[in-house]
Amino acid sequence: MDFSTMNIWCWLIPLLVGLLCAYFGYLLGKNKSTTTIDNSADLKLLQDKNAKLQADLDACKGKLSAGAAMAAAGGAVAAASMAPEPPKEKLIPFDAAAAKAAMGKTIKQDDLKVVEGIGPKISGMFIDSGIKTWKALSETSVADCRKVLAGGGDRYKVHDPASWPMQAKMCYEGKWKELAKWQDEHDHGKL
C-alpha cells in the first residue's frame, strides 16, 4: 500500500463511522419522539398538594395576625400561651448506692461539698446566690464562680474554682468512679 491509498482510508473510515452513528441516532430519536409520557395525573396531584399547603400557610398567617392583634390589645398572656412550650429536659436520677461505692462515703443529692475545694461556707455562698444543685453548678461559668467567691471577701480569693463546674457535672451525670479517680489524681481540686 502506498501513502496516498492509506491517506484516503484515514479520512474515509471516520467519515463512514460518523454517518452510521448519525443515522442510528436519528432512528433512535425518531422512535422515542413518538412516545409521549402522560404526567397529567402527577401534575394534578402536585397542584392539589400545593393548594393544600397554600391553605395551611394562609391559616397560619391568620393565626399569627390574630395573635399579634391580641398582644397589641393587651392579650399578651393569651399570645404567650400560644407560644410553643420549650422541651422538657430529661433529669438524670441520683444513685446514692453508686455514689457511696465510688466515693467511700454517703453522698446526699446535690451536696455541693462533694466537689473538691468546696467546703460548708463556700457551699452556703453558692446556695445563697441561687446555685443549689450539681446541675446548676455544672452550668455556671468559672468567672461566675469567682464572682460568688468574691462576694465572700478577700479570704476566698485563694480558692480556684476552675474545676468545680466539671466536677459538678460528673456528680450530676452520676460519673462517680471518674470523679473519685479525678479527685485522687489532683491536689485539692486544682487542674
Q: CA of 166: how far to CAs of 109, 116, 121, 175, in Å? A: 17, 11, 20, 11
Residue 32 in this model has a pLDDT that exceeds 90: no
Confidence of residue 39 (pLDDT cuts 50, 70, 90): confident
Residue 177: per-residue pLDDT: 92
DSSP letter, residue 162: G
Residue 43: per-residue pLDDT: 84
Its pTM stands at 0.52
Residue 150 maps to a domain:
yes
Q: Cα(98)–Cα(103) distance, rounded to whole angstroms?
A: 8
More confident residue, 45 or 121: 121
Instruction: Tell me which H or E stretch contains 114.
Output: none
For 141-158, the three-class secondary structure string (H helix, E strand, C coil) is CHHHHHHHHHCCCHHHCC
pLDDT tens per residue across span 62-97 = 888 777 776 666 655 544 555 566 566 677 888 999
Residue range of the domain that includes 57: 39-83
Do 119 and 53 share a domain, yes or no?
no
Do 51 and 116 share a domain, yes or no?
no
Identify the domain boundary among 83, 115, 146.
83
Confirm if 70 and 78 have CB atoms less than 8 A apart.
Answer: yes
Residue 133 in this model has a pLDDT that exceeds 90: yes
The residues near 160 (Cβ < 8 Å, ≥ 6 apart) are 117, 189, 190
Residue 31 maps to a domain:
no
Identify the domain boundary among 26, 51, 83.
83
Quote the number of domains for the chain. Answer: 2
Give the pLDDT mean for 43-69.
82
pLDDT tens per residue across span 105-117 = 999 999 999 999 9
Do 69 and 136 share a domain, yes or no?
no
Identify the domain boundary among 25, 60, 83.
83
